[in-house]
């Protein structure tokens, strides 16, 4: 994808449901959001999850779809040795790419205030360790720098280029603050660039066509399904509480399961005569939209 023309857009998900929705919507890649992964476990994006929790969730998403999964790997969860292990854990779970950042641990969301970063040399050393630890060159290392907020865009670009020089595949300059800064990054970074598009964040570009025109190769939209789930959930719960009626749904239970591989599992069931019969989506379902009342 990086070698082909144009921009790859990877919407963000935090579980297998979201990963499946992204694949079925026709996108070419999935992004595992670290913030969403933390929130799905009841925490803010303050670096509270462990490497195992993050890698395990990435593995669930990678096995759920036939698309490349790009995953947040925070700071690598320690020094160069920890970073090397992090690479191997994510790679073993079938993930296609991870990004490792230069924040001081515990990190926080890149669009919050109060971030701190390690020295450039330490960041570059961890990226080099990550590159050397991977088993396959097809497992991509994305070097993320949060230095813009504290040290300015010049330093952020310098760190991105230094990371590319030691073998990173993609540069990720987090949270540029003006359209001019967003344009400047792919001009001055000598490699493929990722743009993080966050609703309510600090980066003022929300059109992926604009990002493509600026020569970005990859755009992640981490909060898309998190925000949609929260807003839809709030609305559904408010409606149930106000009306005391369970709203009709768009599809039957059986049709919903089909979106998650039920037909393949039913084919296996029939092949081995393993238990109950397959689902039958032709059976009328109660509580679906359009049902007569």
Q: Which residues are catalytic?
A: 31, 45, 72, 74, 99, 101, 109, 144, 174, 196
Identify which of 77, 90, 167 has the alpha carbon closest to the alpha carbon of residue 125.
167
Q: Which two tokens stand for residue 136?
A: 């396959």
Cα separations in angstroms, 225 against 22, 97, 206: 9, 20, 15
> In 3D, which of 99, 60, 59, 70 has the Cα closest to residue 8?
70
Q: Which residues of 244-260 are buried (b: 16+ CB within 10 A; e: fewer)?
A: eeeeeeeebeeeebbee
Q: Which phi and psi angles does 99 have, rounded to 5°? A: -115, 140
What is the rounded distance in angstroms from the CA atom of residue 159 to the CA atom of residue 121?
9
User: Rounded to whole angstroms, how far apart are CA atoms 224 and 6?
Assistant: 21
- Measured CA to CA in angstroms, residue 41 lies from 8, 44, 48, 75, 159 at distances of 29, 9, 10, 19, 32
Q: Please answer whether residues 177 and 205 qualify as being in contact, where contact means their C-beta atoms are separated by less than 8 angstroms.
A: no
Residue 284 structure tokens = 């009328």
143 close to 99: Cβ distance less than 8 angstroms: yes
Which residues sit opposite 70 in a β-bridge?
A: 31, 97
């Amino acid at each position: 994808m990086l070698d082909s023309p144009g921009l790859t857009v990877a919407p963000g998900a935090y579980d297998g449901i979201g990963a499946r929705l992204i694949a079925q919507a026709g996108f070419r890649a999935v992004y595992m959001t670290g913030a969403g992964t933390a929130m799905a476990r009841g925490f803010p994006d303050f670096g509270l999850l462990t490497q195992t929790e993050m890698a395990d969730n990435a593995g669930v998403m990678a096995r759920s779809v036939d698309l490349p999964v790009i995953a947040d790997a925070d700071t690598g969860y320690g020094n160069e040795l920890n970073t090397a292990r992090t690479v191997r854990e994510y790679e073993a779970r079938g993930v296609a790419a991870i990004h490792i950042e230069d924040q001081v641990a515990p990190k926080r969301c890149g669009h919050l205030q109060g971030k701190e970063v390690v020295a450039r040399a330490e960041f570059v050393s961890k990226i080099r360790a990550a590159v050397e630890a991977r088993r396959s060159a097809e497992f991509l290392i994305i070097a993320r720098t949060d230095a813009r907020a504290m040290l300015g865009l010049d330093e952020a670009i310098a760190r991105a280029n230094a990371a590319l020089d030691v073998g990173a595949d993609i540069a990720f300059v987090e949270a540029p603050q003006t359209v001019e800064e967003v344009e400047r990054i792919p001009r001055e970074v000598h490699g493929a660039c990722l743009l993080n598009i966050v609703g309510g964040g600090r980066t003022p570009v929300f059109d992926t066509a604009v990002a493509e025109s600026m020569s970005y190769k990859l755009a992640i939209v981490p909060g898309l399904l998190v925000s949609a789930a929260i807003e839809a959930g709030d609305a559904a719960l408010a409606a149930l509480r106000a009306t005391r009626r369970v709203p009709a749904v768009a599809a039957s239970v059986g049709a919903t399961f089909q979106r998650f591989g039920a037909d393949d599992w039913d084919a296996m069931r029939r092949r081995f005569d393993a238990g109950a019969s397959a689902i039958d989506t032709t059976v009328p379902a109660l509580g679906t939209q359009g049902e007569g009342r």
